């Protein structure tokens, strides 16, 4: 039953996202059994061809209602086409309200999808393949009830276009 629910949610999200022409890159990696180990570091390779374009870049996270925390610490390693490190950042993202426990994001059943911006109005310096590596930096290992993690790179469109 859980598998069917996850498949329906995944197809629904895929349908919604396939309509957005401003998405340059969108990918996620499923977390086996919903247990995110510290050693599991999903890698996302983004091909950028237009360096004049401004982009917004988002984390894509999916968790269940059973996720035991209101937040999630992520480490993001970001390298350029020359394999040089652009940034290595530890960030705290919020998945639910700290006081009420009400989940943020969009939910269906006990699954919640989050789209959290981490780089706004970003301009890539040169064309080529950029690499984003994500890892969980919580004290609990493995971190339970995280179903998938990913990123989305989207063109910023001026208002009225």
pLDDT in tens, 2-61: 555 555 455 445 544 445 899 999 999 999 999 999 999 999 999 999 999 999 999 999
Residue 1 has pLDDT above 70, yes or no: no
| pLDDT given for residue 116 in this prediction | 98
pLDDT, tens digit, 9 for 90 and up, residues 112-152:
999 999 999 999 999 999 999 999 999 999 999 999 999 99
Domain boundaries, the chain: 2-155
2-155 has CATH 2.40.50 classification: no
Q: Check residue 110 and give its pLDDT.
A: 93
Q: Which residue has the higher pLDDT, 102 or 15?
A: 102
pLDDT for 145 equals: 98
DSSP at 151: E
In eight-state DSSP terms, residue 158 is -
95 pLDDT higher than 60: yes
Task: State mean pLDDT over 97-108.
Answer: 94
Residue 10 pLDDT: 53
- In a 13 Å sphere around the CA of 28, the CA atoms on its Cβ side amount to 21
Q: Would you state the pLDDT for residue 158?
A: 81
Distances, alpha carbon 109 to alpha carbons 4, 61, 157, 160, in Å? 12, 16, 33, 36
Determine the pLDDT at residue 161: 63
Residue 94 pLDDT more than 60? yes
Q: For residue 120, what pLDDT is reported? A: 97
pLDDT at 159 exceeding the cut of 90: no
Q: Would you say 30 and 147 are in contact if contact means Cβ atoms under 8 Å apart? A: yes
pTM: 0.86
């Amino acid at each position: 039953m859980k598998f069917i629910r996850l498949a329906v949610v995944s197809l629904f999200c895929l349908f919604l996202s396939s309509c957005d022409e401003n998405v340059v890159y969108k990918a996620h990696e499923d977390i086996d059994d919903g247990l995110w180990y510290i050693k599991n570091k999903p890698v996302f390779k983004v091909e950028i061809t237009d360096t004049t374009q401004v982009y917004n870049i988002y984390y894509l996270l999916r968790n269940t209602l059973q996720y035991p925390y209101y937040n999630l610490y992520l480490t993001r390693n970001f390298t350029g086409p020359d394999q040089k490190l652009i940034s290595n950042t530890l960030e705290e993202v919020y998945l639910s309200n700290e006081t009420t426990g009400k989940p943020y994001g969009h939910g269906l059943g006990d699954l919640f999808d989050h789209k959290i911006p981490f780089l706004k109005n970003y301009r890539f310096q040169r064309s080529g393949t950029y690499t984003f590596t994500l890892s969980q930096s919580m004290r609990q290992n493995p971190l339970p009830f995280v179903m998938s993690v990913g990123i989305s790179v989207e063109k910023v469109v001026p208002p009225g276009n």
